[in-house]
Amino acid sequence: MKERPAGWRIIDTGLRRAAENIALNRALLESHQAGSSPHTLRFLRFEPAALVGFHQSVAQELREDRCRAHGIAIQRRITGGGAIYFEPAQLGWELYLDKSALGTADMGAIARRICEMAARGISALGVSAAYRPRNDIEVDGRKISGTGGAFDGDSIMYQGTLLIDFDIERMLQVLRIPAEKLLPKAIASARERVTTLKALLGDAPRLEQIRHALTRAFAEGFGVDFEDRGLAPDEQRRFELAIGEIDTPAWVYSTDRPVDEAPVVEGLHRAEGGLVRVALAVDPARNRIKQAWFTGDFFVNPRRLVADLEAALRDSPLDGYRRTVESFFRAYPAEMLLLRREDFVRAIANAVQALHQHGDREAVP
């Protein structure tokens, strides 16, 4: 490994096409791991784009016809996770660091430390932002920034997206909501769970003001000064190599599974506390629950309990749904009127049974 350049760098790569932003992710991470890049804070923005996670199928995650109709680019990230919609009224921030700079290789501890710094920066804009495990930043219980990270050897890339303004309906039109009848619930749930700086402050702060607040928070959190520097020659070379691979259909559709391999099954359970209905979007190839949606006539407190349970089940093992639900309720201060955690388990069990029956029917010649 080369000796790393001295000093911490800040770089703003501006508004770019999705392919260029993803290629820069690869170039900066690879160059950092090679020792030719300094520790870096990067700001970025996307032209309208829908991104799938590295292991996801475009057909299963996105409505390609709607992306094309609205001029929304489709791209694949170099990191895992779920599909995300980006538009220019979101500001991305990324940190490229050694594990030693964070003092730990534990992703939970890393997320908490970095998210708490970012929350202080967002709060400096006039709102009360706070870290919420596992990797969200919220204001009054509503998400304003999602984050995530990836390791490459001793290097880590930690990313976040700050919602300055956001078109929730467009996002849900572009991402594949597996059952159309769930769309009204998805919109209502998103509006309850997500907020923006513009909604909170009445007007969106200037980009320069937002970047300054976040930069200051990270500088104070790490005890460093940032220097404004552009791409190094090695990073530019790696970027040009990466864009040649990433800006192609072969990369975007490298994981290609048809929509009908991602079924949606429903289960309902009539409990003493009311009817519990669940719709499960399932990825049988990976044996995972892609997403769960709960509806019914039950009463729970806090109201966000259902949304948080849905989040806990997202991308969880299909055969481990009971453990996921039980683990969630053990750590969650829930108040439920005549409803028990077992009622949610029973609803999921009935959906899984319907999935197995669906598979058996398809196997009959």
- Residue with the two structure tokens 């260029």: 20
Q: Tell me if 349 is assigned to some domain.
A: yes
CATH no. for residue 325?
3.30.390.50
Q: Tell me if 258 is assigned to some domain.
A: no
95 close to 28: Cβ distance less than 8 angstroms: no
Does residue 197 have a pLDDT over 60? yes
| Between residues 200 and 295, the one the model is more confident about | 200
Which domain range does residue 282 map to?
263-363
Does residue 261 have a pLDDT over 70? no
| Between residues 350 and 60, the one the model is more confident about | 350
2 confidence band (pLDDT: 50, 70, 90): low
Domain boundary residue, one of 228, 252, 276: 252
> 226 and 300 in one domain?
no
176 confidence band (pLDDT: 50, 70, 90): confident
> 300 and 154 in one domain?
no
Domain boundary residue, one of 199, 221, 252: 252
CATH no. for residue 60?
3.30.930.10
User: Is the entire prediction scored with pTM above 0.85?
Assistant: no
The pLDDT of residue 358: 63
Q: Tell me if 3 is assigned to some domain.
A: no
> 227 and 327 in one domain?
no
**Cα(283)–Cα(56) distance, integer angstroms:** 10
> 268 and 145 in one domain?
no
Task: Give me the sheet containing 274-283, strands edge to edge.
Answer: 264-271, 274-283, 288-296, 316-317
8-state DSSP, 175: B
| Between residues 212 and 263, the one the model is more confident about | 212
Does residue 185 have a pLDDT over 70? no
* Three-class DSSP category at 225: coil
Poorest-confidence range of 164-178, 257-271, 341-355?
257-271
Does residue 250 have a pLDDT over 70? yes
For the segment 114-129, the average pLDDT, to the nearest whole number, is 97
> 247 and 270 in one domain?
no
Which tokens is 163 given?
Answer: 């919602």
The pLDDT of residue 359: 57
Q: Tell me if 122 is assigned to some domain.
A: yes
Does residue 67 have a pLDDT over 90? yes
> 213 and 278 in one domain?
no
Domain boundary residue, one of 226, 252, 278: 252
> 281 and 356 in one domain?
yes
**Dihedral sign for Cα atoms in the order 212, 75, 173, 296:** negative
Does residue 14 have a pLDDT over 70? yes
> 280 and 239 in one domain?
no
72 close to 86: Cβ distance less than 8 angstroms: no
End-to-end CA distance of the chain: 59
> 278 and 242 in one domain?
no
Q: Tell me if 291 is assigned to some domain.
A: yes
Poorest-confidence range of 68-77, 173-182, 307-316?
173-182
For the segment 323-348, the average pLDDT, to the nearest whole number, is 91
- The C-alpha torsion from 135 through 136 and 141 to 143, rounded to 10°, is -150
The pLDDT of residue 264: 84
**Cα(117)–Cα(106) distance, integer angstroms:** 17
Q: Tell me if 34 is assigned to some domain.
A: yes
Our count of domains for the chain comes to 2
**Dihedral sign for Cα atoms in the order 176, 179, 184, 189:** negative
> 267 and 232 in one domain?
no
> 298 and 330 in one domain?
yes
| Between residues 3 and 38, the one the model is more confident about | 38
Q: Tell me if 1 is assigned to some domain.
A: no
| Between residues 285 and 269, the one the model is more confident about | 269
Burial track 101-127 (b if 16+ CB lie within 10 A, e otherwise): ebeeeebeebbebbbebbbbbbbbbee
Does residue 178 have a pLDDT over 60? no
Q: Tell me if 2 is assigned to some domain.
A: no
> 192 and 305 in one domain?
no
The pLDDT of residue 286: 87
For the segment 116-137, the average pLDDT, to the nearest whole number, is 94
Q: Whole-number mean pLDDT of the chain? A: 88
